[in-house]
Structure 1
Amino acid sequence: MSRTPSFAASAARAPSRRRGEGFAAAALALALLAQLGWLQHDRLAASPQLRPLLASVCGTLGCVLPPWREPSAFALLSRDVIAPPDRPGVLRVQASFRNDARWPQPWPTLSLRLSDVDGRTLGARRFLPADYLPAGGARTDLIAPGQASQIAFDIAEPAPGVVGFDFRFE
């Protein structure tokens, strides 16, 4: 009877050991990818290519994606700044816009600049959604794709002679 030498016996066990090491390495690589994904989830969710995949993964796992933000996708349909004759020193700001993004996104910040006949800025301000949306109204925090909205609010006239205005979405 011959005994198997010890070096031959350890070599026979090597394939199963290597398989375990391979599984461990794969598990560690997946854990690393998951951590990187978690740390970069805002950037990944802002990718139009990855967002549908991430939305389905989050739907399965119960996580929440950050809201889509694409201010350039808001289309300004109409805008006007008028001085109501019965209210001196007040300007009425009116605008309608539509969300042309592929996904719902938060209501935009509205940047308004008022100018005189020579193009000099007389006043400028950024209006958050809380500044221009009616308080206590039935609304959501997001504006749906294709949804159009009209807003109107009053501001104090910064100086006499306002003749020009510029709207921007942020």
Structure 2
Amino acid sequence: MSEPTPPPRRPLATFLRASTEPTPEAVDAVAPDSEVDNNEDSPVVAEAYVEDIEQTEADIDPAPVAAAEAIAPNVAATPAPSFMRAPERAAPTPRWQWALVGGLVVLLSLQIAVADRARLAADAGSRPWIAGLCSVLRCSLPAWQEPTAFSMISRDVRPVPGQPGALQVQASFRNDARWAQAWPSLRLSLSDADGRVIGTRVFAPHDYLDPTADAASVLEPGQSAQIAFRVREPAASTVAFTFEFL
């Protein structure tokens, strides 16, 4: 039995000429036949296929490429996150602001010193500069108080003639402190022959000063003062006395 005769094929060159603009489907349909038929028209098929590929690449729409290029600058212009940016250097503070702050601090310190001048004046370390400050600002300072800086120069206690039980007290002392001091309070103690204290009393400045003297005045450094006053003897056995500055 003989094999059926295949239908006649359309010439390949005629097929290529009939299609003015070959499509990818036509190329795929022609490629297998070109591999089977090793005739002289095969190079024409290859050239048509390459030409179709080149034409396809030329027909690529440039719009997406342009859009991508347009997006690229925008992406580059997007600012980086704050944690990726270098810290910006702050502008230096003007010198006049520092001078203003320093002046305010000094002014505040002066106000505190003037308000607390009584306590500062009672300290030997801070009194010199607070005294100098008050001499400029014309503020008053309390008198220096250092009872141990008074030195007794002379003292005497004796009965008053014609007045039984009355004693005349005389004393002289000096201010050896570095600053002026107010008149001190004076404690007088009387003792008997056995050393027992039989009477004691504290005399304020207005008790032992002359009524015409100013008890609010001060004794300058190195200044001496002499006082005299009378007291009543607590007992006839008084033989000794002591003075103490308060």
Using structure 2 for the length normalisation, give the TM-score: 0.57
Q: Give the equivalent residue in structure 1 for 2:227.
A: 151
**Structure 1: which 5+ residue stretches go unaligned?**
none
Q: Which has the higher contact order (CA 8 A, sep 6+)?
A: 1
Residue deviations 1:55-87 (CA, integer Å, cap 9, x gap)? 221111111111111111110011111112321
Aligned to 2:162, the other structure's residue is in SS state: coil
Q: Note if 1:77 corresponds to 2:162.
A: no
1:48 to 124, 141, 162: 124
Cα separation, 2, equivalents of 1:39 and 1:120: 48
Counterpart pick for 1:15 among 92, 98, 103? 92
Bigger proportion of residues as strand: 1
- Is the contact made by 2:184 and 2:204 (CA closer than 8 Å) also made in structure 1? yes
1:49 Cα deviation after fit:
3.1
Matches within 5 A, 1:82-101: 82-101=158-177
d(CA) in 1 for partners of 2:230 and 2:240?
16
In 2, the alpha carbon distance for the partners of 1:37 and 1:133 equals: 35
TM-score, normalisation: structure 1: 0.80
CA distance in 2, matches of 1:19, 1:12: 20
Q: Distance in 2 between matches of 1:42 and 1:147?
A: 24
The 8 Å contact of residues 113 and 130 in structure 2, kept in 1 or not, is answered as no
Match of 1:124 among 191, 194, 200: 200
Percent identical among aligned pairs is 47
Q: 1:142 aligns with which of 215, 218, 241?
A: 218
Measure the CA separation in 2 of the matches of 1:108 and 1:57: 26
| Partner AA of 1:113 in structure 2 | S
Q: How many residues align?
A: 161
Partner SS state of residue 145, structure 1: coil
Give the 3-state SS of the residue equivalent to 2:135 in structure 1: helix
1:112 to 188, 196, 204: 188
Larger mean CA deviation between 80-89 and 109-118 belongs to: 80-89
Larger Rg: 2
In structure 1, what is the Cα distance between the partners aligned to 2:114 and 2:140? 12
Q: Aligned-pair distance for 1:38? A: 4.0
Deviation at 1:122, TM superposition (A): 1.1
Q: Secondary structure at the match of 1:165?
A: strand
Contact 2:156 / 2:171 at 8 angstroms: preserved in 1? yes
CA distance in 2, matches of 1:128, 1:155: 14
Once the two structures are TM-superposed, the CA of residue 17 in structure 1 deviates from its matched residue by 7.2
Task: Assess, with a 3 A threshold, how the Cα gap between structure 1 residues 80 and 126 changes in structure 2: closer, same or farther.
Answer: same
| Cα shift at 1:34 | 3.7
Q: Report if the CA contact (8 A) 2:155-2:172 is conserved.
A: yes
1:82-112 Cα shifts (integer Å, max 9, x gaps): 1123210101111011111111110110011
Residue of structure 2 in register with 1:103 after alignment: 179
Aligned-residue Cα RMSD (Å) equals 2.8
Alpha-carbon spacing, 1:144–1:87, altered in 2? closer, same or farther (3 Å): same
Query: Structure 1 residues 128 and 135, CA, compared in 2 at 3 Å: closer, same or farther?
Result: same
